[in-house]
């Protein structure tokens, strides 16, 4: 094992341990500062629960991102890690403000656009699109708008799926595990680091976030997770040719469940006349209306996410790109069809 691999493994283990140690303090801090999710018409929980739980794993991750950027990596990778840590800190500030004061939708959207722009300018860009039939597409000037759309999609997908105990956290674990495996297959150390740290932190947090949750992610955690998953999937062509050459198939597959839910939510809200109005018609809400428990819904979502993840891993080293693309499309259509069927049954 190389020295860099040892440092990454140690950082991941320490992130997991520190997250466990910080969670009790996070709960006390949230209660003291009034960062508490109260039951209301939009939420399904019945008791006041501390939120802003993203702090407990985000702080160790930020520290190790910075330390690895200073002492382990060099050049462009070092700079990008330090800039990502700084941007992650900004996300925590925005998230805490939202969790404490329940910011308006306009503030959230403007913040997300600003974060997406900063991500692009520090080098986390979508520069290629996969062409299963042949040579990949180089985006050129289209890189900026497509990168912004991708970052906004990931940020909102994680936020919108975070409507039930353990749902977003467990999906995050599986997505990170998939990206970690692909990073290892491609020998890409920045992706291994970023995915490993987030996997370590989210796995520790899930112990306290699974139903019945003692601490919620909040906007603090959802925004931080979205930022880091977006970073992993766009870490830079000069460092991650193995995955950017198949952008965005792998992250699209791994994130299929939250991205499908987000796309349906946007379509639903546009039809309702206001994209910023929250509702209780997400996939997990519909499954809950069918009588499934929160635990059962989370486990089903984990299994579906794992299936998409296995397709993504298979795509990363298979020469039969068209076959895997078709398989991915079929699986997406099945999930969408199941959602539409459940919604119609619920409306009867």
pLDDT tens track for 276-290: 676 677 888 788 878
Host domain of residue 200: 3-347
Mean pLDDT calculated for residue range 26-36 = 95
Report how far residue 14's alpha carbon sits from residue 25's, in angstroms, rounded to the nearest whole number: 17
Element (H, E) at 96: helix 75-101
> How many domains, the chain?
1
Half-sphere exposure of 87 (CA within 13 A, CB side): 27
> Which of 35-49, 113-127, 194-208, 283-297 has the largest mean confidence?
194-208
> Cα separation of 282 and 267, whole Å?
12
Confidence of residue 344 (pLDDT cuts 50, 70, 90): low
Alpha carbon distance 310, 327 (integer Å) = 11
pLDDT band at 137 (very low <50, low <70, confident <90, very high): confident
Split at pLDDT 50, 70, 90, the class of 4 is very high
Q: What pLDDT was estimated at residue 173?
A: 97
Q: What angle do CA 289, 293, 296 make, to 5 degrees?
A: 120
Whole-number pLDDT of residue 246: 44
- What confidence score (pLDDT) does residue 135 get? 67
- Does residue 197 carry a pLDDT above 90? yes
* Rounded Cα distance, 291 and 154, in Å: 29
- pLDDT for 86 equals 97
Q: Among 77-81, 126-130, 145-149, 202-206, where is mean pLDDT lowest?
A: 126-130
Q: Which residue has the higher pLDDT, 270 or 15?
A: 15
Q: Is the dihedral of CA 304, 308, 314, 318 positive or negative?
A: positive
Checking if the pLDDT of 63 tops 60, the result is: yes
Please state, for a pLDDT cut of 90, what percent of the chain lies above it. Answer: 51
**∠ Cα 122 149 228 (to 5°):** 50
**Sorting pLDDT into bands at 50, 70 and 90, what band is 238?**
very low
Say if CB 290 and CB 346 are below 8 A apart. Answer: yes
SS3 238: coil
Q: What is the mean pLDDT of residues 263-277?
A: 73
> Which is nearest to 87 in space by CA: 125, 53, 121?
121
What sign does the CA torsion over 21, 24, 29, 30 have? Answer: positive
pLDDT in tens, 166-190: 999 999 999 999 999 988 888 889 9
> Do residues 75 and 189 make contact, with C-beta atoms less than 8 angstroms apart?
no
Q: Which of 26, 144, 65, 51 is nearest to 102 (CA)?
A: 51
Q: How far apart are CA 129 and CA 158, in angstroms?
A: 22
Q: Which residues contact 66 (CB under 8 A, 6 or more apart)?
A: 81, 82, 85
Q: What is the mean pLDDT of the chain?
A: 85
- What would the mean pLDDT of 63-85 be, rounded to a whole number? 95
């Amino acid at each position: 094992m190389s020295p860099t691999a040892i440092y990454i493994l140690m950082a991941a283990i320490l992130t997991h341990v520190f997250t466990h140690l910080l969670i009790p303090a996070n709960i006390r801090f949230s209660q003291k500062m009034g960062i508490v999710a109260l039951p209301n018409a939009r939420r399904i929980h019945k008791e006041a629960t501390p939120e802003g739980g993203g702090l407990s794993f985000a702080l160790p991750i930020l520290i190790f991102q910075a330390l690895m950027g200073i002492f382990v990596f060099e050049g462009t990778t070092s700079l990008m890690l330090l800039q990502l840590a700084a941007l992650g800190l900004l996300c925590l500030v925005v998230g805490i403000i939202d969790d404490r004061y329940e910011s308006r939708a306009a503030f959230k959207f403007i913040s997300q656009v600003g974060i997406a722009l900063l991500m692009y300018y520090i080098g986390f860009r979508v520069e290629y699109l996969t062409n299963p039939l042949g040579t990949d597409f180089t985006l050129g000037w289209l890189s900026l708008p497509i990168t912004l759309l991708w970052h906004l999609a990931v940020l909102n997908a994680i936020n919108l799926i975070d409507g039930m105990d353990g749902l977003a956290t467990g999906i995050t674990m599986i997505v990170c595990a998939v990206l970690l495996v692909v990073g290892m297959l491609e020998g890409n150390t920045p992706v291994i680091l970023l995915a490993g740290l987030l996997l370590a932190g989210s796995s520790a947090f899930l112990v306290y976030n699974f139903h019945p949750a003692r601490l919620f992610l909040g906007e603090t955690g959802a925004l931080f997770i979205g930022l880091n998953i977006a970073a992993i999937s766009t870490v830079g062509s000069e460092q991650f040719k193995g995955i950017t050459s198949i952008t965005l198939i792998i992250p699209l597959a791994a994130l299929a469940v939250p991205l499908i839910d987000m796309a349906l939510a946007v379509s639903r809200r546009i039809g309702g006349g206001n994209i910023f109005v929250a509702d209780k018609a997400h996939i997990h809400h519909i499954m809950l209306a069918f009588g499934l428990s929160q635990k059962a819904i989370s486990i089903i979502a984990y299994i579906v996410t794992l299936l998409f993840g296995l397709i993504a891993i298979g795509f990363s080293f298979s020469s039969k790109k068209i076959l895997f693309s078709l398989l991915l499309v079929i699986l997406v259509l099945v999930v969408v069809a199941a959602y539409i069927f459940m919604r119609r049954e619920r409306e009867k």
